[in-house]
Amino acid sequence: MTVERKVDIMKMYNATAHLYNMRYEHEQKLKISFLLNKLRPKEDEILLDIGCGTGILFNMVNCKTMIGLDISINMLREVKNRGKIDLILADGEHLPIKDESIDIITSVTVLNLIMDKKRFLSEIMRCLKRGGKFGISLLNREEPPIVEGVETYEIETMKEIFIFGKK
């Protein structure tokens, strides 16, 4: 992804962060519920949500450590939760996360915004612990990346494709 494209995405989400939940919370909760039902995060696990937005996922799960990563500072400012969440301002193609340190990685409707999907997926695999799991989604108007050993679900009513895998 070009730097200009990343800056445009950041500016767009910075400008609309205060409206995001009003516009998309219901839709995002459905997608997140599907992901969490498949991944089944445990309380003692470390969870990373790439493109966490306003943190909707964090109100639906209880893990010992939850990390939210987003390219938009204003989206991160909107994150509200009863528990402790570590927030990181970064993009999904360059995760500032230690190798093999995360149990579960989620990413909802972010892959569509990523130009280098292979790098994004390799970053996910780099950060996952052995036995770690990931669940990501993308709008179904795009062709999903080809990844060996994953489960893929297309949910037409959500207009979304879900990809689940393990390390």
pLDDT at 3: 82
Biggest alpha carbon distance in the chain? 39
Question: For 81-123, what is each residue's pLDDT tens digit?
Answer: 656 899 999 999 999 999 999 999 999 999 988 888 999 999 9
CATH 3.40.50.150 at 3-166, yes or no: yes
Tokens of 18: 């205060």
CB 47 within 8 Å of CB 102: yes
Rounded mean pLDDT, 120-146: 90
Tell me how far apart the alpha carbons of residues 61 and 46 are, in angstroms, rounded to a whole number: 11
Let me know if 94 is exposed, middle or buried by CB neighbors in 10 A (0-12, 13-18, 19+): exposed
Contact in structure between 33 and 59 (CB atoms under 8 Å): no
The counts of H helices and E strands in the chain are 4, 7
Helix H or strand E encompassing 22: helix 20-39
Contact 42, 63 (CB under 8 A): yes
pTM of the model as a whole: 0.93
Domain boundaries, the chain: 3-166
Supply 121's token pair.
């997926």
